[in-house]
Structure 1
Amino acid sequence: MNSAEFGGSVHEAIARIVRILDAPDDLVTRFVSGGDGIPPCAILCIAGLSDLNMINEQIVPSLQQAFSAIGHTGKMSGKELFSLLNKQFLSVQKYKTTQSLDDILVSVLSGDTALFIDGLDQVLLIGSKKWTGRSVEEPQTEALVRGPREGFNESIETNIILLRRAIRDPKLRFDTYRVGARGKKEMVIAYIDNIVHPDLIQEVKRRVETIDIDDAPESGTIEQLIQDSFLSPFPLILHTERPDKVASAVLQGKVVILLDGTPFALIMPTTFASLIQSPEDYYERWHIGSLIRMLRYFAVVISLTFPSLYIALVSFHQGMIPSKLAFSIAAAREGVPFPAVVEAFLMEFTLELLREAGVRLPKPIGQTIGIVGGLVIGEAAVQAGIVSPIMVIVVAVTAVASFAIPSYSAGITFRMLRFCTMLAASMFGLYGIIMTIIMICIHMSRLQSFGVPYFTPMAPFFSRDWRDMLIRAPLTMLAKRPEFMQTQDEQRISDERGGQ
């Protein structure tokens, strides 16, 4: 063995690793000897993380076969034994060699098997991971009517397979990193080499390499550490658990990060328009996709401004309400002891509590709490004269609109900003709403995601990309990749009918 790392023998190397790990009960060590003149070997793994059947049925028999072959030829060094195993007897598919003690520890603690050969200055790390994992299931947070039903799971190997299955391009690259000084989670940066802009992939790698943290339990941790601004409430990196959405982003020239232990992949750069888009927009005909997308933009407006408009009109601008509707609202509010702003805040706060309780409770109970609780509390509040029926309708429509936003993080952002617009409307009426929206737009126009302005393609203006923003133009008019991505290969539809 390499004396600098392991002290000179297989037994000393194993003893050193056992001391470092403090001799855990699940650490499996097995010494294999072939007799005089044959270098002894040792196998090291963690029970439960490694496939012991594979070790007993493939690795150990390979060593025994090599020992039998050596017995007919005489003595053999560690390097010669390794060469013999590599060429003839080692029947495993995945292995690598290393001289680093840190690599050995990380691999063993990840489920691989370390094979030590006396006299060899390298250690074989054999892929033998096996632990109970979740199967490939339909994504829970991004349901579609039409589209694939496969979703990422917590195994990064499975997620890479799903992405390779979606994109069979030889230029698809997976750059592997270890994240976390103690957790040492495996992380992969995925992109297509001859499409992505070189500056983008270099910037992503630069930010990833600067991460210095004990552990990254979820991709949200990576997102917070590499995003452009941690003060903005808007998501600057899009997360998804849909392989088809990741494949589409990679084909557009974007970069994706996959982290072991989480089904959520990170897509960068991200624009505001991409938060409103859904993979289903491209699976349906362009008429249907455009209508649904415009409906989502309308849902964003409702989610952000509907309660504040009610507050402004009832409190400050009663003259803008049609007479019959004004009389109806006045009759409904008769006997309500609170002003419109207090009424709105009470209902919105109650709705947020119900929504959070529904998420945290077990799924069957959570659905019951969300539906029955909302109906019961709303009806009881109206009967008690605390809120008006109109206010219940406004809050209900706003909640439904917020659920229509595909991105969960974007939906939470608009829910937070809704309280800002409500507060501004309670003080300044419509002028407050307009000023708040202007401030939000100014803030968004200053944001960037990995060098791409957040309001792209509106500001800066890219006329060609408008075909896939408010509406989804026919596929023949989307012959080129997004202009703002500055990809190396612009063309994605070679049909002569494709637009420019």
Structure 2
Amino acid sequence: MSSGRRNMDSQAEAAGLTGRGGRTSGLTEDLDETILNIRTELGESPDLKVRRLQIGGERSVQAAAIHISGLADPAAVNEFVIGSLLAEPQKLPESAANPARIQAVLLDGILELGDAEVTDGWNDLLLAVLSGDTAVLIEGCMSAVLCDTKGGESRSVEESSSQMVVRGPKDGFVESVATNISLIRRRIKSPKLRLEYTRVGTETQTHVAMLYMKELAGKDLVEEVRSRLNKIAIDEVLESGFIEELIQDKTFTPFPTIFNSERPDVAAGNLLEGRVVIIIDGTPFVLILPAVFTQFFQSAEDYSQRFDIAILMRLVRYVSFIVLLLGPSVYIALTTYHYEMIPTTLLINLLSQRETVPFPAFVEALLMEGAFEILREAGVRMPRVIGQTVSVVGALILGSAVVEAGIITPIMVIVIALTGIASFAIPSYNMAIAGRIIRFGFLLLGGMFGFYGITLGLIVLVAHMNSLRSFGIPYLSPFVPLSVKGQKDTLLRLPLWLMKSGKTPAQLRKEMPDYKRVTTGHEAALAPLIRNNDAAGRKQDREDGRDEEK
């Protein structure tokens, strides 16, 4: 897109790669000098490959094909670039002394590539070579032909490792922006799908793609996203988290205001809801915006399973988030300040357990929460072969050892274990981390003020969430401001026919003109009765009877 190109040129000027107009003395009519300039600019890199050629038969012209091994596909370079240049010299014009005419013939009749273009920009040439393209230089010409030969090693499309489902598509995004775009286009075969490119990062020049659906995504939203991307001033972009942190509305909040996903079906579904998807080269996680609080509790499987199963699973996630936030703090408040609310039998058991424990409940919770976080982090960072074993065994040994040593009560181990398990029930990893951070604040409030502190913390938390915005959209919508229509897919997941049109499948089928003649499933058994309800059906029955008699 034009704005992205202006952004790329301004970043290149800041890096000192180009002058006004995108041209410097790097590209000259002297082929040897141009090659020397490229080698010097890239620091005499050993993976820079230069293949000199004599093209044009008897009236040959010196040329060179330049690419970087490991970034360019060697088969495409050898077959479609070098092979094409050497295979048919007779196609070159008689006026071979005209380099511009030779370039035109290369593009129109010799190069067997789907994507090739001419550039006279020094920065564009360097970026293309560093991106895996092959540059064809011709003696006497101050421009280059860029051939799309991107390749190299890349990860194949596999199942998402962070957002797994039981029922649903099993493919996930990879680190290639082109592959990720193709995964979305396979699901949305609509001309309304719009795609815009830009480059972000002065040094990395990371390829960033923005996708949205025309007429579904708001114009103000698209323009705001485009503006924020073009205003990014940073040296490197190595992951989508760099972009997320630079374009989000509010930084000092534990709640994520931009949704990220590794699943193409999730990205496609959000595009059809009017959101914008940002794909960053080099990472399988795409950004989806704007985002609201309820979106982080929705799973791709909710729309693959029956609605009643989806409702149950979604309610479990919300309950798990409440347990994650308030589980330990409520236990501390009950056993420290409000023990009269505990049944007598249970209270006697709790007091008998605490007789040999030297620490108050608040210190117990901090010790166990800290130990659980250490085990969780160790399980993630350790080698996959032994990571899960060490985390599980460590938790069992640690839990039983601290109880036997009289440091922690058994009920506290149960509470902390239940809180940890609840954090894994939340589909979004970012929202689970937010809950883990906030629970320490509720631990402190519950240990100092009991239920009064917890209530005060909930009021402050809801007020903070109500102040958040994601690209102008209230974070708590459709609850605040209240939208009755928006409640169809928040806490509950109503049937699809009710969310879309409000009519049952049977009503929709009756509106079809061929409903009387086409039936499926169990309706096939009722087809004679349906036909008898109108004159056409009775007439058809008489004709069927005559056919049987014959």
When normalised by structure 1's length, the TM-score is: 0.93
Percent same amino acid at aligned positions? Answer: 42
CA contact (8 A) 1:70 1:76 kept: no
Compare 54-63 and 320-329 and name the one that shifted more.
Answer: 54-63
Residue 477 of structure 1 corresponds to 498
- Deviation for aligned residue 1:132: 1.2
- Deviation for aligned residue 1:7: 2.5
Residues 278 and 451 of structure 1: CA distance in aligned 2, closer, same or farther (over 3 Å): same
SS in 2 for 1:366: helix
Match 1:134 to one of 139, 152, 155: 155
Write the distance in 2 (CA, Å) between the matches of 1:58 and 1:449: 47
Write the distance in 2 (CA, Å) between the matches of 1:497 and 1:338: 67
SS in 2 for 1:40: strand
SS in 1 for 2:311: helix
Matches within 5 A, 1:345-356: 345-356=366-377
CA contact (8 A) 2:217 2:274 kept: yes
SS in 1 for 2:440: helix
Matches within 5 A, 1:32-181: 32-34=53-55, 37-70=59-92, 73=94, 75-181=96-202
SS in 1 for 2:282: coil
SS in 2 for 1:6: coil
Write the distance in 2 (CA, Å) between the matches of 1:74 and 1:303: 77
- Deviation for aligned residue 1:497: 8.3
Structure 2 runs not aligned, ≥5 long: 1-22, 511-550
Write the distance in 2 (CA, Å) between the matches of 1:101 and 1:194: 38
What letter corresponds to residue 60 of structure 1 in structure 2?
I
Write the distance in 2 (CA, Å) between the matches of 1:9 and 1:222: 41
SS in 2 for 1:333: helix
Compare 26-35 and 353-362 and name the one that shifted more.
Answer: 26-35
Write the distance in 2 (CA, Å) between the matches of 1:442 and 1:497: 47
SS in 1 for 2:186: helix
Write the distance in 2 (CA, Å) between the matches of 1:240 and 1:475: 22
CA contact (8 A) 2:333 2:446 kept: yes
Write the distance in 2 (CA, Å) between the matches of 1:39 and 1:282: 62
CA contact (8 A) 2:70 2:153 kept: no
Residues 224 and 480 of structure 1: CA distance in aligned 2, closer, same or farther (over 3 Å): farther
Match 1:210 to one of 231, 253, 273: 231
Match 1:331 to one of 352, 357, 364: 352
- Deviation for aligned residue 1:96: 2.4
Question: Can you list the C-alpha shifts for 1:27-84, whole angstroms capped at 9, x where unaligned?
Answer: 111221236644422111111211223222221222224423338x464522222222
Question: Can you list the C-alpha shifts for 1:191-218, whole angstroms capped at 9, x where unaligned?
Answer: 1122111110110011111111111111
CA contact (8 A) 1:99 1:121 kept: yes
Question: Can you list the C-alpha shifts for 1:125-181, whole angstroms capped at 9, x where unaligned?
Answer: 111122111111111111111111111111111111111112111221221111110
Compare 175-184 and 90-99 and name the one that shifted more.
Answer: 90-99
- Deviation for aligned residue 1:461: 1.1
Write the distance in 2 (CA, Å) between the matches of 1:403 and 1:156: 29
Compare 114-123 and 455-464 and name the one that shifted more.
Answer: 114-123
Write the distance in 1 (CA, Å) between the matches of 2:92 and 2:204: 41
Compare 308-317 and 288-297 and name the one that shifted more.
Answer: 288-297
Q: Does 1:377 find its partner at 2:385?
A: no
Residue 321 of structure 2 corresponds to 300
Write the distance in 1 (CA, Å) between the matches of 2:464 and 2:482: 17
Residue 341 of structure 1 corresponds to 362
Write the distance in 2 (CA, Å) between the matches of 1:480 and 1:233: 37
Residues 3 and 49 of structure 1: CA distance in aligned 2, closer, same or farther (over 3 Å): closer
Matches within 5 A, 1:87-486: 87-479=108-500
Write the distance in 2 (CA, Å) between the matches of 1:369 and 1:437: 36
- Deviation for aligned residue 1:4: 5.6
Question: Can you list the C-alpha shifts for 1:284-320, whole angstroms capped at 9, x where unaligned?
Answer: 1111111111111111100000100000000000001
What letter corresponds to residue 472 of structure 1 in structure 2?
R
CA contact (8 A) 2:71 2:150 kept: yes
Question: Can you list the C-alpha shifts for 1:388-440, whole angstroms capped at 9, x where unaligned?
Answer: 11001101111111110111011011001001001000111001011101111
CA contact (8 A) 2:29 2:141 kept: no
Residues 302 and 252 of structure 1: CA distance in aligned 2, closer, same or farther (over 3 Å): same
CA contact (8 A) 1:249 1:267 kept: yes
- Deviation for aligned residue 1:91: 0.5
Structure 1 runs not aligned, ≥5 long: 482-492
- Deviation for aligned residue 1:365: 1.3
Residues 381 and 248 of structure 1: CA distance in aligned 2, closer, same or farther (over 3 Å): same
What letter corresponds to residue 249 of structure 1 in structure 2?
N
- How many correspondences in the alignment? 484
- Deviation for aligned residue 1:5: 5.1
CA contact (8 A) 1:39 1:119 kept: no
CA contact (8 A) 1:66 1:89 kept: yes
- Deviation for aligned residue 1:3: 8.1
Write the distance in 2 (CA, Å) between the matches of 1:479 and 1:265: 26
Write the distance in 1 (CA, Å) between the matches of 2:407 and 2:298: 39
Write the distance in 2 (CA, Å) between the matches of 1:479 and 1:218: 36
Compare 11-20 and 191-200 and name the one that shifted more.
Answer: 11-20
CA contact (8 A) 1:218 1:261 kept: yes
What letter corresponds to residue 382 of structure 1 in structure 2?
V
Over aligned residues, Cα RMSD in angstroms? Answer: 1.9
Write the distance in 1 (CA, Å) between the matches of 2:463 and 2:96: 77
Write the distance in 1 (CA, Å) between the matches of 2:68 and 2:45: 9
CA contact (8 A) 1:5 1:99 kept: no
- Deviation for aligned residue 1:24: 1.1
Question: Can you list the C-alpha shifts for 1:436-468, whole angstroms capped at 9, x where unaligned?
Answer: 011110000000000001000000111101111
CA contact (8 A) 1:33 1:40 kept: yes
CA contact (8 A) 1:29 1:44 kept: yes
What letter corresponds to residue 321 of structure 1 in structure 2?
I
SS in 1 for 2:500: coil
